[in-house]
Amino acid sequence: MASSQTIRVNLAERSYDILIGSGTLDVFPQFMADRNSSTHVVIITDSNVDDLYADALGDSLTEQGYEVQMMVVDAGEESKSADAAIDLWETMLAEGADRGSVVAAVGGGVVGDLAGFVAATFARGLAFVQVPTTLLAQVDSSVGGKVGINLSEAKNMVGAFWQPMGVLVDVNVLGTLPAKEFAAGMAEVVKYGVIMDLDFFEYLEQNVDGINARDPEVMQKVVERCCQLKAEVVEADEREESGRRAILNYGHTFAHAFEAATEYGQLLHGEAVSMGMVCESRLAERIGLIDAAATERQVKLLEALSLPITPPELDPEEVYRLMWHDKKVADGKINFVLPTKIGETTLTSDVKSRDVLAVLEG
């Protein structure tokens, strides 16, 4: 490995390390051996990542004497479904997985969430490891233990909190990411700056060129900072009970509704989050929480990172209806995470439907 850093996520007996670096995939067998004595590993990946990375990772385990079961789902959000979970459960059972097996999720957010849900529920819970291969998964979904699948009208509506026993991040894999996927991951990166770290937001503004060139040194810093911030939040509120973890949902109430309204095909999650952040910052403006300049600063950075900021044409009433089918709804209220300035947010359910609709109408 050229360089690497370890970030610890402290969650009592569920604590684990995130190893971040260039070339860390080379240490995968050792990373597994250090964490679990099981010799049966179920690798879950998708049809894009299989040939690129997962197959070779499987071989590296086999060489070390592991019994490896490879399971490949179709690339894309459609695989984050109950049907895909059932297929995986049945295949694992048929091919001899048992409660001593370990699941390794090798892929993006869809693979990590699906594989994590399958790990959380097979035989009432298997140990699992995340090997995120998209920027989005590296900075967000692979850390923190949220796993799950979508229902037809609501993302992530079914799932669990199930912490991995380790996360292995290799920033070199970002080189093979399609441009749209890379940009989509940057939406979540920008989010961390807006919700909790003005300095980091400024670092991003100052390093747009290095980011867009996927400079490994810049990207390692970016991923490290995001994982540190996420670890802090998860440590403070593992199960999203105190409200602290909810700040990670900035942009997501609108984003999930945009994704649902376009049936999870048209928009990448990060693209929807980019649009969602702009909408929610404008909503914050309408109710007097933030000034317009702060929204424009987000718009400028998101655009410099090639992210879309305007949602596709959708019926505002339909989008608003879909917001009610979100996990963030509790006791009949939609809970919004709204920015008060760059680096700070507030939680509020005191938002009028006419303000939400006005933002959607643009």
Which positions from 134 to 163 touch a second copy by CB under 8 A, shown as an x/- string? ------------x-x--xxxx-xxxxxx--
38 touches a second copy by CB under 8 A: yes
Q: Which of 177, 276, 327, 343 binds a second copy (CB under 8 A)?
A: 327
The residue among 69 and 281 lying less far from a second copy, judged by its C-beta, is 69
- In 10 A of CB 285, how many CB atoms? 19
Residue 325 assigned to a binding site:
no
User: By CB under 8 A, what part of segment 229-248 binds a second copy?
Assistant: 239-240
Three-class SS state of 3: strand
Nearest to 260 by CA among 98, 150, 135, 95: 150
The residue among 33 and 157 lying less far from a second copy, judged by its C-beta, is 157
Among candidate residues 224, 240, 259, 280, the one labeled active-site is 240
CB 283 within 8 A of CB 318: no
Nearest to 246 by CA among 349, 163, 335: 335
Nearest to 297 by CA among 228, 357, 208, 232: 208
Known catalytic residue at 180: no
How far apart are alpha carbons 296 and 215 in whole angstroms?
Answer: 26
The residues near 214 (Cβ < 8 Å, ≥ 6 apart) are 174, 175, 182
The residue among 36 and 262 lying less far from a second copy, judged by its C-beta, is 36
Residue 125 assigned to a binding site:
no
The tokens describing 39, both together, are 């010799």
121 touches a second copy by CB under 8 A: yes
Give how many residues touch a second copy by CB under 8 A: 41
Length of the chain: 362
Residue 133 assigned to a binding site:
yes
CB 192 within 8 A of CB 200: yes
The residue among 43 and 260 lying less far from a second copy, judged by its C-beta, is 260
The tokens describing 207, both together, are 């390093």
12 touches a second copy by CB under 8 A: no
Q: How far is the CB of 196 from a second copy (least distance, A)?
A: 22
Known catalytic residue at 325: no
User: Which residues of this chain interact with a second copy, rule CB under 8 A?
Assistant: 38-40, 82, 85-86, 89-90, 93-94, 96, 98-100, 120-125, 146, 148, 151-154, 156-161, 239-240, 324-325, 327, 329-332
